[in-house]
Amino acid sequence: MIPAGVALGVLLEIVLLEGGARAAPADRVEQYLGLARATLERPITPAELEAAALSSAGVEDIAALFEQSLAASLTLQGGAVTPELGGEATLDGGRLRFVEYPDLLHSIVRRMVELKNDPKSLLDYLSQSPPGQRLLATTGGLHALLFQMTGPGGTNEDRRRTLDQVLASAVAVHFKTWSVDPEQQLEMIRQNDWNGRYVGFWHIHPPRWTASGYAAGIEPSLEDMKVAVEKGQFLTLVFQPDGFDLYDLSPLSEAQALELSRCRVIQYRSGDWARRFATGRTPAH
Ligand SMILES: [Zn+2]
């Protein structure tokens, strides 16, 4: 079950934002708030969560998330990097619904990699938007390097190699991982209809592309456990070559403990899944 305190904490943030923005009455925010009431009246049991995740619709929805990540992968320094996806989930009529919240930095990092051979365009592009400016300022050495490469000294092999390394670190920090801020959360709440009960935030640990095919995603990290306890980000869906492990981190919040062994793990394995993800095809791009 979802501890009421956490769900309500998230909702309170929304209500405050809504008030601060003086928005017109928003039905979808009302719908979203209704999830918490429904969940308090009838908490989601572990058995319900498991039945929904292992149903044919649940398995299909989860497989589709991993395929979506593979299709969005980014090739850099010869390897493909698969992005995490995430959002908030509900349980409605026995079906888990994973509403996806795009991480705005993913598209910016993708464009950075596309522009890496054109330092002037890359610098112009990043300077245009506040998130781009933040990436420029927080990606170690990037601003200074682009300044050099677009200045009188121009580019050389050393600087290109350094730029590749700096971009690789931006990809590792901002593209591999998923995060959302409260403004983006509110925007996505307004874009979706909400029915049923509230499960919590979710994110995937996608397949990792290796020479021999798709390898398992990593298990929930210490950071994931901290976020679960602090913000109620409970579901981590970990890819396996023959299925998935769905980690429900809500027991950590109840116990206020960062111990992976306390998580409930719902495992799915099947030959169909293994065949689906064993085609040996490389990710798109
Ligand atoms: Zn994670």
Q: Per-residue pLDDT tens for 35-66?
A: 999 999 999 999 999 999 999 999 999 999 99
Question: What is the C-alpha to C-alpha distance for residues 37 and 189, in angstroms, rounded to an integer?
Answer: 16
Q: How confident is the model at residue 187 (pLDDT cuts 50, 70, 90)?
A: very high
Q: Rounded to the nearest whole angstrom, what is the distance from the C-alpha of residue 228 to the centroid of ligand 1? A: 10
Lowest mean pLDDT among 51-65, 116-130, 220-234: 220-234
CA of 236 to the centre of ligand 1 (A): 6
Percent of the chain with pLDDT over 90: 66
Q: Give the CA distances from residue 137 to residues 71, 152, 234, in Å, rounded to whole numbers and listed in that order.
A: 29, 22, 31
* CA of 224 relative to ligand 1 center, distance in Å: 5
* 104 alpha carbon – ligand 1 mean position (Å): 17
Confidence of residue 7 (pLDDT cuts 50, 70, 90): very low
Provide the pLDDT for residue 153.
81
Three-state SS across 99-151?
EECCCHHHHHHHHHHHCCCCHHHHHHHHHHCHHHHHHHHHCCCHHHHHHHHCC
As a whole number of angstroms, the distance between CA 267 and CA 264 comes to: 10
Chain-wide mean pLDDT for the chain?
87
Is pLDDT above 80 for 9? no
Q: pLDDT at residue 152 above 80?
A: yes
Q: How far is the CA of 205 from the centre of ligand 1 (A)?
A: 6
Question: Does the pLDDT at position 1 exceed 60?
Answer: no
Q: Is pLDDT of 284 > 90?
A: no
* pLDDT score, position 122: 96
Question: Is residue 5's pLDDT more than 60?
Answer: no
CA of 223 to the centre of ligand 1 (A): 7
CA triple 83-138-10, angle to 5 deg: 60
pLDDT at 254: 84
* β-bridge partners, 79: 76
Whether residue 28 is predicted with pLDDT greater than 80 in this model: the reply is yes
Q: How many CB atoms lie within 10 A of CB 254?
A: 14
Rounded-to-integer distance, Cα 135 and Cα 131, Å: 6
Domain ranges of the chain: 4-103+178-276, 105-175
Helix (H, G, I), strand (E, B) or coil at 98: strand
148 CA from centroid of ligand 1 (Å): 35
- 200 bridge partner residues: 89
Distance 220 CA to ligand 1 centre (A): 5
Structure tokens that stand for 264 in this block: 């409930």
DSSP 231-275: H---EEEEEETTEEEEEE-HHHHHHT---GGGSEEEEEE-HHHHH
Q: Per-residue pLDDT averaged across 214-223, rounded? A: 92
Could you tell me the distance, in angstroms and rounded to a whole number, from the CA of residue 154 to the centre of ligand 1? 39
Determine the average pLDDT of the residues in 143-162.
Answer: 90
**CA 177 to centroid of ligand 1, rounded, Å:** 7
Nearest-angstrom CA–CA distance, 63 and 43: 26
266 Cα: distance to centroid of ligand 1 (angstroms): 16
Handedness of CA 229, 100, 58, 244 (dihedral sign): negative
Cα 155 to ligand 1 centre (Å): 37
- Residues 1, 15: Cα–Cα separation, whole Å: 23
Q: What is the pLDDT of residue 20?
A: 46
Q: What angle do CA 202, 71, 69 make, to 5 degrees?
A: 15
Q: If you measure from the C-alpha of residue 241 to the centroid of ligand 1, how many angstroms do you get, rounded to a whole number?
A: 18
Distance (Å) from CA 246 to ligand 1 centroid: 12
d(C-alpha 241, C-alpha 239), whole Å: 7
Q: What is the pLDDT of residue 6?
A: 43
